[in-house]
Chain A
Amino acid sequence: MGSDLTPTDLAARLRALTTARVGLGRSGPAQATDDVLAFALAHARARDAVHASLDADALATAVESLGHKFLRAASAVPDRRTYLLRPDLGRTLAADTDLAADGPSDLAIVLADGLSAQAVQAHAPPLLAALTPRLRGLTLAPVTIALQARVALGDPIGQALRARAVLVLIGERPGLSSPDSLGAYLTFDPRPGRTDAERNCVSNIRPEGLGYDAAAGRIAWLIRQALDRGLTGVGLKDESDLVALVQPTGSAVGRT
């Protein structure tokens, strides 16, 4: 392709190459009106996503229809403002929490609102549907639906349910163009005090990012590796990267 381009062609050419906001119009030094308003709309959607509540009943119905039992839990956070200001409380179970399992299990799955209830509402059921058949042979604790939850709330939940590992599917911090991105965090031997370095993460799960099947495949691989080798975190991450290199999924796996 040659390089004789009008400014309009150039903008289109650049925009075809990245999701970044390149090739924007200009009025003097300022951005053009349409671009300013488009940005404001995207930001409004992201802000609304942060402050939206999870419809736990609807999610529970979806979980049951996939053949899973479910439990409910909440963190010690009373409201959204406190959630944003006190991550420590979002990692602690509410005082009246009573979680019990019938017996020990290989894996506990937690569906957590995190910073985007919209993400877990929309993407957790289809991801769970894609993941469940890949977990054959493993014993599963009931799925826990957790409100006002941080990733590390999975640690006391997994411990209470006597699970060897806990998988937290949680709404990620909304980006301007991704208000509904789901993250998956896997922790072996969950208990309070685990650090992020002891977890594995698969992020940006949504149809426009990492698709359900690709994410489920990667998560299932991590779960089996974690249970076989008795660890998650930095030690496991390198190996999963290697597999991704050898068997490219065609999708990006970001890190948080």
Chain B
Amino acid sequence: MANQRWPFPDLKTLMAKASPLRSGDALAGLSAGSLEESVAARMALADVPLKRFLAEPLVDYDTDEVTRLICDTHDAGVFAPIAALTVGDFRDFLLSDAADAPTLAALAPGLTPEMVAAVCKIMRNQDLILAGSKPKVTTRFRNTLGLPGRLSTRLQPNHPTDDPAGVAAAIIDGLLLGSGDAVIGINPASDSPVVIGELLRLLDEIIHEGAIPTQACVLTHVTATLDLIERGAPVDLVFQSIAGTEAANASFGVSLSLLAEAREAALGLKRGALGDNVMYFETGQGSCLSAGAHHGVDQQTLEARAYAVARAFDPLLVNTVVGFIGPEYLYDGKQIIRAGLEDHFCGKLLGLPMGCDVCYTNHAEADQDDMDVLLTLLAAAGVTFVMGVPGADDVMLNYQSTSFHDALYVRRLLGLKPAPEFEAWLVGAGLADEAGRPLPPPSRLKLLERLDGL
């Protein structure tokens, strides 16, 4: 047995060494020392019973509230039928015809992030795509996201100085190209409550004046959003970046109780016409290590643990911002592509409406060709949403994502459509034909009148 030459002292060491190589695990000193050791670890991991992940938490139960959340909410009854499986058996099950959408939906409460991360490590990219395409996760606020045959987009109209006219111009540009059904979501340059309140009102007016079946979000800290809700600002979704350990979340200034408080506040506004999924979370591999809060656990496993945090709050959207963190965590296109597929698979298996910011920074060894590959693979895997950034160039955050055109490309290629309510709105407003193709903008565009007042 090849793997008998390689001792793996504990489960978290085994998990780390079984991870396909990435720079963040190497930076943390957790990677396998050779390719052979990495595959030996995968072989050993394939023989680990799923039950062992319940008995042996990778992050201490007593000192980490994310571990407590995972253990205390685990549904042993749902887990019982697969309790005898090893990680390797579990992979075979997920790829089998027995693992259909209803079966996987029922199974999700019996799965922990660590089980899902473990099976992920012994899967090839095609396994992640096929198994990731199986769970169907549907969420609602003002429209219905995640239906089969649909691919939604977050319209991301960022501006370097939060200029309302600049933001509105990018929104109009995106709507004309069919973008924005997942959310119209602004990353503000400022953390001023005055500026953020103005952006929220701008989004609210655009959505209501145009009767656009979508939702708005200004991606600021959860405490700022809570204050804005108290002041009566029109908040649709509560945004927060989250991570997979209590200490990493603390570095973001959040805890489970704070997230619960924010969710209750947003629910109290009753702004969702169709549903009450009011949370928007962003995550990304490497965030725990970046915060010095990784507890010797590999970054892909910690990312899956962030999804346990997300699913406790019934989010409308979860977005893994995969290539934003930089090359010290995901070095090149190959690592970014792999991580995007892993994150989508793990999120979907845990029951989340998983989207991906298919992206990279200029100091990573990646380019738009790599983004084309990941976008196409994720769309084939049934990703819930991707970003829509003007020309794929975010002029506020200084990184590259996917463009409005990129979403049109992949919808055309794979026959995907936006959320049904939004699709109907596009057709009704004369912005798209029945096949979803953008039409030349109407000569009188009501949306444009808004620009005159800004």
Answer yes or no: do A and B interact: yes
Task: Look across to chain B and name the residue whose beta carbon is closest to the beta carbon of A47.
Answer: B362
Q: B169 to A18, Cβ gap below 8 A?
A: yes
A20-B166 contact given A26-B438, A252-B161, CB 8 Å threshold = yes
B418 at the interface (CB under 8 A from A): no
Q: B395 to A19, Cβ gap below 8 A?
A: yes
Task: Look across to chain B and name the residue whose beta carbon is closest to the beta carbon of A45.
Answer: B362
Kindly identify, within residues 133 to 172 of chain B, every residue whose CB is under 8 Å from any CB belonging to chain A: 157-161, 163, 165-170, 172
B231 at the interface (CB under 8 A from A): no
Q: How close is B339's CB to chain A, nearest CB, in angstroms?
A: 16
Task: Look across to chain B and name the residue whose beta carbon is closest to the beta carbon of A84.
Answer: B327
A13-B393 contact given A3-B444, A18-B170, CB 8 Å threshold = no
Q: B443 to A175, Cβ gap below 8 A?
A: no
Over the window 1-39 of chain A, the binary record of Cβ atoms lying under 8 Å from chain B Cβ atoms (1 yes, 0 no) is 101111100100111011111111010111100010001
State the CA gap A178–B405 with chains docked (Å): 23
Q: B391 to A14, Cβ gap below 8 A?
A: no
A61 at the interface (CB under 8 A from B): no
Give the contacting residue for B446; candidates A3, A28, A31; CB below 8 A. A3
A136 at the interface (CB under 8 A from B): no
A241 at the interface (CB under 8 A from B): yes
Q: Which residues of A contact B160 (CB under 8 A)?
A: 19, 204, 252, 254
Q: B362 to A46, Cβ gap below 8 A?
A: yes
Q: A43 to B23, Cβ gap below 8 A?
A: no
Q: A35 to B391, Cβ gap below 8 A?
A: yes
Q: Which residues of A contact B409 (CB under 8 A)?
A: 29-30
A10-B390 contact given A1-B452, A30-B405, CB 8 Å threshold = no
Q: Which residues of B contact A174 (CB under 8 A)?
A: 362-363, 398
Task: Look across to chain A and name the residue whose beta carbon is closest to the beta carbon of B446.
Answer: A3
Known pairs A47-B362, A176-B395; list 9 more (Cβ under 8 Å): A3-B449, A5-B445, A7-B441, A18-B169, A22-B170, A49-B362, A85-B26, A85-B331, A173-B326
State the CA gap A147–B128 with chains docked (Å): 42
Q: Which residues of B contact A23 (CB under 8 A)?
A: 173
Q: A85 to B362, Cβ gap below 8 A?
A: no
State the CA gap A22–B176 with chains docked (Å): 11
**What are 19 inter-chain pairs, A to B, with CB distance below 8 A?**
A3-B449, A4-B444, A10-B448, A13-B169, A18-B166, A19-B395, A20-B159, A20-B169, A20-B173, A21-B392, A26-B405, A26-B438, A28-B412, A39-B368, A39-B391, A47-B362, A88-B27, A175-B395, A254-B160
Q: Which residues of B contact A178 (CB under 8 A)?
A: 398
B337 at the interface (CB under 8 A from A): no
Q: How close is A179's CB to chain B, nearest CB, in angstroms?
A: 8
A17-B169 contact given A42-B393, A85-B26, A252-B189, CB 8 Å threshold = yes
Q: Which residues of B contact A50 (CB under 8 A)?
A: 362-363
Q: Which residues of A contact B326 (CB under 8 A)?
A: 84, 173
State the CA gap A28–B437 with chains docked (Å): 8
Q: Which residues of B contact A22 (CB under 8 A)?
A: 169-170, 173, 390-391
State the CA gap A86–B444 with chains docked (Å): 54
Over the window 263-298 of chain B, the binary record of Cβ atoms lying under 8 Å from chain A Cβ atoms (1 yes, 0 no) is 000000000000000000000000000000000000
Q: Which residues of B contact A173 (CB under 8 A)?
A: 326, 361-363, 398
**Interface residues in chain B, defined as those with a beta carbon under 8 Å from any beta carbon in chain A:** 23, 26-27, 157-161, 163, 165-170, 172-173, 177, 189, 191-192, 326-328, 331, 361-363, 367-368, 389-393, 395-396, 398-400, 403, 405, 408-409, 411-412, 437-438, 440-441, 443-446, 448-449, 451-452
A176-B445 contact given A7-B440, A18-B169, A86-B27, CB 8 Å threshold = no
Q: Give the most central of B167, B398, B445: most A CB within 10 Å.
A: B398
Q: A20 to B391, Cβ gap below 8 A?
A: yes
Q: Which residues of A contact B192 (CB under 8 A)?
A: 241
Q: B170 to A20, Cβ gap below 8 A?
A: yes
State the CA gap A35–B368 with chains docked (Å): 13
Q: A17 to B363, Cβ gap below 8 A?
A: no
State the CA gap A177–B394 with chains docked (Å): 10
Number of interface residues of A (CB under 8 A): 51
Q: Which residues of A contact B165 (CB under 8 A)?
A: 17-18
**Interface residues in chain A, defined as those with a beta carbon under 8 Å from any beta carbon in chain B:** 1, 3-7, 10, 13-15, 17-24, 26, 28-31, 35, 39-40, 42-43, 46-47, 49-50, 84-88, 115, 172-178, 181, 204, 241, 252, 254-255
Q: How close is B416's CB to chain A, nearest CB, in angstroms?
A: 12
Task: Look across to chain B and name the residue whose beta carbon is closest to the beta carbon of A176.
Answer: B393
Q: How close is A254's CB to chain B, nearest CB, in angstroms?
A: 6
State the CA gap A173–B398 with chains docked (Å): 8
Q: How close is A113's CB to chain B, nearest CB, in angstroms?
A: 12
State the CA gap A204–B160 with chains docked (Å): 10
Q: How close is A141's CB to chain B, nearest CB, in angstroms?
A: 30
Q: B400 to A43, Cβ gap below 8 A?
A: yes
Q: A10 to B441, Cβ gap below 8 A?
A: yes
Q: Which residues of B contact A24 (CB under 8 A)?
A: 390-391, 403, 405
Q: How close is B23's CB to chain A, nearest CB, in angstroms?
A: 5
Q: A43 to B391, Cβ gap below 8 A?
A: no
Task: Look across to chain B and name the residue whose beta carbon is closest to the beta carbon of A43.
Answer: B367
State the CA gap A7–B172 with chains docked (Å): 13
State the CA gap A173–B397 with chains docked (Å): 10
State the CA gap A252–B393 with chains docked (Å): 19
Give the contacting residue for B395; candidates A7, A18, A172; CB below 8 A. A18
Q: How close is B332's CB to chain A, nearest CB, in angstroms?
A: 10
Q: How close is A5's CB to chain B, nearest CB, in angstroms?
A: 7
Q: Which residues of B contact A88 (CB under 8 A)?
A: 27
Task: Look across to chain A and name the residue whose beta carbon is closest to the beta carbon of B403.
Answer: A31
State the CA gap A49–B362 with chains docked (Å): 9
State the CA gap A22–B155 with chains docked (Å): 12
Q: Which residues of A contact B167 (CB under 8 A)?
A: 18
Q: A84 to B169, Cβ gap below 8 A?
A: no
State the CA gap A178–B446 with chains docked (Å): 34
Q: B446 to A43, Cβ gap below 8 A?
A: no
A4-B390 contact given A20-B395, A173-B398, CB 8 Å threshold = no
State the CA gap A28–B408 with chains docked (Å): 9
Q: Which residues of A contact B158 (CB under 8 A)?
A: 20
A254-B189 contact given A43-B368, A85-B328, CB 8 Å threshold = yes
State the CA gap A241–B192 with chains docked (Å): 9
Q: Which residues of B contact A19 (CB under 8 A)?
A: 160, 166, 395
